[in-house]
Amino acid sequence: MHQIGTPFASHATKVMLLGSGELGKEVVIELQRLGVETIAVDRYPHAPAMQVAHHSITMNMQDSHALLEVVKRERPDYIVPEIEAIATSALVELEEEGFQVVPSANAVDTTMNRERIRNLAADQLGLPVSNYRFVDTKASYSQALQEIGLPCVVKPVMSSSGKGQSTVRTPQDSSKSWDFAHEDTRGSADRIIVEELIEFDYEITLLTIQHINGVSFCEPIGHRQEKGDYQESWQPHPMKPETLKKCQEIATQVTNALGGYGLFGVEFFIKNEEVYFSELSPRPHDTGMVTMISQDMSEFELHVRAFLGLPVPQIHCLGPSASSVIAAHGKSSDVRYSGLDNALIHPDTKIRLFGKPNVDGERRMGVALARCSTIEEARKLVDRVALQVNVKANA
- Answer for the pair 208, 256: CB distance below 8 angstroms, yes or no: no
Active site residue 267: yes
User: Burial, 128: exposed, middle or buried (Cβ in 10 Å; 0-12, 13-18, 19+)?
Assistant: middle
Active site residue 13: no
**Alpha carbons 176 and 160: distance in angstroms, whole number:** 19
Active site residue 287: yes
Active site residue 286: yes
Q: Which of 109, 267, 299, 301 is catalytic?
A: 267
Q: Which of 58, 133, 162, 184 is catalytic?
A: 162
Which are the contacts of 380, defined by CB distance < 8 A and separation ≥ 6?
A: none
In one letter, which amino acid is 285? H
Measured in degrees and rounded to the nearest 5, phi and psi for residue 219 equal -60, 150
- Answer for the pair 239, 185: CB distance below 8 angstroms, yes or no: no
- Answer for the pair 350, 393: CB distance below 8 angstroms, yes or no: no
Q: Which of 186, 364, 371, 379 is catalytic?
A: 364
Which are the contacts of 242, defined by CB distance < 8 A and separation ≥ 6?
A: 273
Q: Which of 42, 219, 286, 301 is catalytic?
A: 286
Please count the other Cβ atoms lying within 10 Å of the Cβ belonging to residue 38.
Answer: 27
Nearest of 268, 259, 252, 265 to residue 215 by alpha carbon: 252
Measured in degrees and rounded to the nearest 5, phi and psi for residue 261 equal -100, 140
**Alpha carbons 376 and 195: distance in angstroms, whole number:** 32
Q: Which of 115, 279, 348, 377 is catalytic?
A: 279
Nearest of 84, 47, 23, 28 to residue 292 by alpha carbon: 23
Which are the contacts of 155, defined by CB distance < 8 A and separation ≥ 6?
A: 114, 164, 165, 181, 192, 193, 195, 228
- Answer for the pair 194, 282: CB distance below 8 angstroms, yes or no: no
- Find how far residue 262's CA is from the centre of its chain: 13
Q: Which of 20, 56, 88, 160 is catalytic?
A: 160
Q: Which of 13, 159, 233, 287 is catalytic?
A: 287
Nearest of 149, 229, 134 to residue 190 by alpha carbon: 134
Q: Dihedral of CA 120/121/122/124: which sign?
A: positive
Active site residue 160: yes
- Answer for the pair 378, 371: CB distance below 8 angstroms, yes or no: yes
Residues forming the active site: 160, 162, 267, 279, 286-287, 364
